[in-house]
Amino acid sequence: MGPGLSRNKGIKLAQGKYISFCDSDDTWKKNKLSYQIDFMIKNNLKFSHSNYHIIDFKGKRIGNFMTQKKINYENLLKSCDIGLSTVMIEKILLDKYKFCSLRTKEDYYLWLKLVRKLKNLNGINKYLVNWRSLENSLSSSKKQRIKDAYKLYNYYENYSGLLSVYYVLRLTFYSLLKKTKIYF
């Protein structure tokens, strides 16, 4: 069972109003949940995500990622700037919209579905998560990420083969820009 299908199973069993995810190699700030719930209630949101610190395997901060205040479908197609461990979603949405079975990009798939429904995915300008960058993680496998990105665009988003290649190249380009801190 891949990560998306495992998450779907957990969501089905969950009973709270909100769902938040924390990958095993990431950590949350002490007040992440309370801060995010308050933010969502105050702004009448069904989905939110936050900035995150990038840390190495020892927990040393090696970078920061600031999210956009609002991400629409076109922004999201260009670059998946939403870290899974930063997200909080009303469970009612996740009862309808599910993660897919891709080995990577399963969260990106869900964000694309949700942004179509909600029009914008709202970001919190606060660092609530430490995201661990590991060289040997599944999400770091470049070949798998490219393969899954193509399948996401071609199969799940129903784009033509040529347009899917274009979006994979664009996603890869923006990912490289982020890694070299040229991202704008």
Distance CA(165)–CA(14), nearest Å, equals 37
In the DSSP assignment, the letter for residue 103 is S
| pLDDT, tens digit only, all 184 positions of the chain | 679 999 999 999 999 999 999 998 999 999 999 999 999 999 999 999 999 999 998 999 998 999 999 999 999 998 898 999 999 999 999 999 999 999 999 999 999 999 999 999 999 999 999 999 876 555 558 888 899 999 999 999 999 999 999 999 999 888 888 777 534 4
Where residue 126 falls (left for φ over 0; alpha for ψ -120 to 50; beta otherwise) is beta
Q: Walk me through the domains of the chain, giving residue ranges and CATH numbers.
A: 3-133 (3.90.550.10)
Q: What is the pLDDT of residue 140?
A: 52
3-class DSSP assignment, residue 126: strand
Q: What is the pLDDT of residue 10?
A: 95
Q: What is the pLDDT of residue 107?
A: 96
